[in-house]
Amino acid sequence: MKQKWKVLLKRRKKTISGSNKIKEKDVHKLNRDVEVNGISVSEISKMKQKIENLKSNIKTAALNDTFIPNKHHHLVKWADGLNTGAAFTSNIEQGIVNEIMTLYGIDDTWKVLLLMGIGVFTNHKNIRYTEIMKQLADEQKLYMIIASSDYIYGTNYSFCHGYLSKDLNLTQEKIIQALGRIGRNNIQQDYTLRFRDNDHIMKLFTTETDKPEIKNMNRLFNSTFESTFEKVEQNI
């Protein structure tokens, strides 16, 4: 009789353990079938694995120092024998390089220039390019900024040298503003300004009576005065 009970107990334990295994399988199956935004967990896992595989195929791209202004190899190639002790160069970190290369809507030419430490002010489709350029300029990590005469006003960066090209449409006021951009936030440095067009130098030292900036300011103040005067009249 005791043996019979032992046999029944063993069968009962097997049945219980077997049912537990079935429940565990059901739980695993349920976990696989759970959906997140209409996609099952198993599919999400496969996509993550695919993304990781693609990431592993990414290779680091970098410009040779020979092509980056004032880097050691650049100076050896183009300025051998010259005094280059005070030569300034850019400092574009790898994280910034990665961000620049992934910018959407930016021509590859502008990206390569920024990697060389040269920023360009123009109407870029992606505002992030301009933000990165301003950040690098503020941190004195850019070698040069190229801009048209439209970007002279309000540009305050710590550059010590200016270069005015001959294809710029500059008034006397804009030339003075361009001179004032050089050496901002820096003192006791060596500053230089280079003119490509002698007409710009003559314009700088010639009296101008018909200045467009003065005309614009007069229009602005007159329109402001007239609108203010009309409001005063209405309130009287």
Residue 77 domain flag: yes
Residue 9 pLDDT exceeds 50: no
**pLDDT for the residue 187:** 66
Residue 103 domain flag: yes
Residue range 209-225, pLDDT digits in tens: 777 777 777 787 777 65
Residue 225 domain flag: no
Positive or negative CA dihedral for 210, 212, 214, 218? Answer: positive
Between 228 and 116, the more confident residue is 116
**pLDDT for the residue 168:** 82
Q: Report how far apart, in Å, the C-alpha atoms of 37 and of each of 44, 47, 141, 173 are.
A: 11, 14, 44, 60
Instruction: Specify the number of domains making up the chain.
Output: 2
Residue range 169-189, pLDDT digits in tens: 888 888 888 888 777 766 667
Residue range 82-133, pLDDT digits in tens: 888 888 899 988 888 888 888 888 888 988 898 899 988 888 888 898 888 8
Instruction: Report which DSSP code applies to 150.
Output: G
3-state secondary structure of 217: helix
Question: Domain limits at 155?
Answer: 65-207
Shared domain for 76 and 144, answered yes or no, is yes
Shared domain for 87 and 33, answered yes or no, is no
Banded model confidence at residue 156, pLDDT cuts 50, 70, 90: low
Banded model confidence at residue 75, pLDDT cuts 50, 70, 90: very high
